[in-house]
Amino acid sequence: MNVIEKDITIVGAGPAGVTLANLLAGYGASVLLIDSEAQILTEPRAVGIDDEALRTLQSFGMAETVLESAVRNAPIRYFDSKERILAHVAPSGRPYGWPRRNLFFQPNLEGVLRESLTRFSNVELMTSCEAVALTQDAAGVTILARHDGETIEVHSKYAVGADGGRSFVRRAVGIELEGDTAPMKWLVVDVEHDTWDAPYSAVYRSPVRPAMTIPLPFGHRRFEFKVLDGEDPESMAQPEKVAELMKQFYPNTPVPPAVRRRIYWHHSRTAETFQAARVFLVGDAAHLQPPFFGQGMNSGIRDVTNLGWKLGMVVSNRAAPALLDTYDAERRETAKTMVEFATGIGKLYHPRNRVTEKLGNTLFRVAQKVPGGREYILQMKYKPVPRYTEGFVEIAGTPAKSSPVGRALPQPLVQLLDGSRVRFDDVLGQRIGVIALTGDVSEALSLQMKERLQQHDVVVVQGHVTPAYRREGQSDPREHPSPAVIDVYDLEGGLRDLLLARPNDEVVIVRPDRYVAAVSTLADLDAALDRLLRRLEGGGPTLVAAVRAHRSTGK
């Protein structure tokens, strides 16, 4: 029997699993990624990628590559049953540094992410490999899998189930899904060689048969139609019926050929826990939601963004294993909120009758006339934004609504001293960041704290006003550079706006997943960092010694 030893085993090489493998590679973790399929599935499933997910792909250099083959900043139009426009949603803001709504072709995305893995010698992808047994103990996880007619035995410190809604890993550790499977069914049709020039997603609200359509790259388009009560799902998926449903969109041209016709039940379910000792669940293995808001895959990428840095820091001896316990505390409720939101959006698409349709239409129109309402809809501000109030965050009592702690840090454009302009995350890297919005952070940090930050590979960044705005008494960082600090010019005022909103938050401490762990004044910075680092270290000196050994040996 072939025996493999790895730090982490990931079961499932879909978008969530492959993204996690890319993230872990940056921490030097040895990873085995297995998938039961021989090749990437050719049919598209997920079709939308948001700015949060792109920000994660940015961390390992793949965001731009994915966007090259995507429809960027795609708008959505909502229509009533008479095809009158109710709302046009076209988000233009880029709070996280990327367009908020983008349409992609999933086989292409998966190919890009798998190709990215070839850069790393510490990650192995094994296809046609099906996990058949899983056990764990205090030392690690053992997975038996069948590969090319043979059984392999994989030993790892931790394992992650990224293997979809019918997750083997979830069943193997005895975790149940909680929630409902909606009685409604929808027909999903993907066509190629599309001729309909409508460069926007369209939702057709109707008490009879709601429908939606989404333009995809490379001449593909998706249609979704509700299967009505009493209709036979199998008959609805037949070519003749599909062509009949689609003819309304192609009244004067031939209906494009369908490459997929499938009936879907819509699930609204969340795992009772995302962690069982050394085993974690991500993506559809952890939560299932209707596709109405296009957040299924994006929620999975949020899972691995949260879990990836924690696993990476633990296996590289930069954090104590207790850090991993924060994954379920931070992700489960926020994922459940998105599941419930997507379910509610689906109900909005299908009014019960003409009266409720008219009421909904009126609400659409009135909301856009209320001060701020149009902007609320246009910029997709109704989308739930995660906020972590438990886990690896420093919040005393009830968090202030305006506080950035527990929320994702905006990503402004900044300029380095050499003149290059970059997105702020590219300065921080996959590290904890200490970001000074004013003053002199180098003077505020004690020598002992600087040494501890170096041990944990924490990056310290000092923000500066641009030379064009500099006032009397404000120093030029080019004249007094500090080797322990990265100086950046706040090119478009993103850092300035954080300070103007909360003047006492002179320093922001941000996690590798770009969520704010704590804020501090310069005077209290040493104490704030000490509290966080103690939590990271598990409260004892053992980890610090291990970190020093790790850094000195390079292992």
Phi, psi of 293, rounded to the nearest 5 degrees: -110, 5
Nearest to 308 by CA among 160, 144, 408: 160
C-alpha to C-alpha distance for 8 and 310, rounded to whole angstroms: 12
The C-alpha angle 44, 81, 266, rounded to 5 degrees, equals 40
Q: Specify the pLDDT at position 554.
A: 39
pLDDT tens over the chain, length 555 residues: 799 999 999 999 999 999 999 999 999 999 999 999 999 987 768 899 999 999 999 999 999 999 999 999 999 999 998 889 988 888 888 999 999 999 998 889 999 999 999 999 999 999 999 999 999 999 999 999 999 889 999 999 999 999 999 999 999 999 999 988 766 788 999 999 999 999 999 999 999 899 999 999 999 999 999 998 889 989 999 999 999 999 999 999 999 999 999 998 888 899 999 999 999 999 999 999 887 777 889 999 999 999 999 999 999 999 999 999 999 999 999 999 888 888 777 777 777 888 888 888 888 787 777 777 766 666 666 677 889 999 999 987 677 888 999 999 999 999 999 999 999 999 999 999 999 999 999 999 999 999 999 999 999 999 999 988 888 878 788 877 778 899 999 999 999 999 999 999 999 999 999 999 999 999 999 999 999 999 999 853 333 333 333 334 333
Six-digit token string for 306: 């949260």
Q: Which helix (H) or strand (E) holds 362?
A: helix 354-367
Report the distance separating Cα 286 and Cα 290, nearest Å: 14
The amino acid occupying position 352 is R
Can you give the pLDDT at residue 176?
96
Compute how many other C-beta atoms are within 10 angstroms of the C-beta atom of residue 417.
14
The first and second tokens of residue 211, run together, are 């429908």
131 by Cβ neighbours in 10 Å (0-12 / 13-18 / 19+) ranks as: buried
Our CA dihedral for 75, 218, 250, 209, rounded to 10 degrees, sits at -60
How far is it, in rounded angstroms, from Cα 308 to Cα 377?
32
Q: Which residues pair with 181 in a beta bridge?
A: 267
Residue 152 CA to residue 38 CA, distance in Å, equals 17
Of the candidates 550, 552, 549, 515, the residue with the CA atom closest to the CA atom of residue 532: 515
pLDDT the model gives residue 44:
65
> Which ranges of 396-541 does DSSP label H, i.e. alpha helix?
424-428, 441-444, 447-455, 494-501, 525-537
Query: 49-52: long-range contacts (C-beta < 8 A, 24 or more apart)?
Result: 49/102, 49/104, 49/109, 49/297, 49/298, 50/100, 50/101, 50/102, 50/294, 50/295, 50/298, 51/94, 51/95, 51/96, 51/97, 51/98, 51/99, 51/100, 52/96, 52/298, 52/301, 52/302, 52/305, 52/408
- Long-range contacts at 525-528 (CB < 8 A, ≥ 24 apart): 525/434, 525/441, 525/444, 525/445, 525/449, 526/444, 526/445, 526/446, 526/449, 528/394
pLDDT for the residue numbered 68: 94
At 371 the pLDDT is: 74
- Give me the pLDDT at residue 203, please: 92
Question: 85-89 and 101-103 as β-strands: parallel, antiparallel, unpaired?
Answer: unpaired
- One DSSP character per residue, 103-125 reads E--HHHHHHHHHHHHTT-TTEEE
Domains and CATH numbers, the chain: 2-70+102-175+272-349 (3.50.50.60), 413-553 (3.40.30.10)
| Contact (Cβ atoms closer than 8 angstroms) between residue 200 and residue 285 | no
Nearest in space to 196 (alpha carbons), one of 250, 241, 272, 240: 250
160, β-bridge pairs: 10, 280
Among 420, 440, 545, residue whose Cα is nearest residue 484: 440
Q: How many residues does the chain have?
A: 555
Cβ neighbours for 133, distance < 8 A, ≥ 6 positions apart = 143, 144, 172
Tokens of 154: 């994989």
Let me know: does 21 contact 110? Beta carbons within 8 Å: no
DSSP secondary structure of 525-541: HHHHHHHHHHHHHTTSS
Cα-Cα-Cα-Cα dihedral sign, residues 488, 494, 497, 498: negative
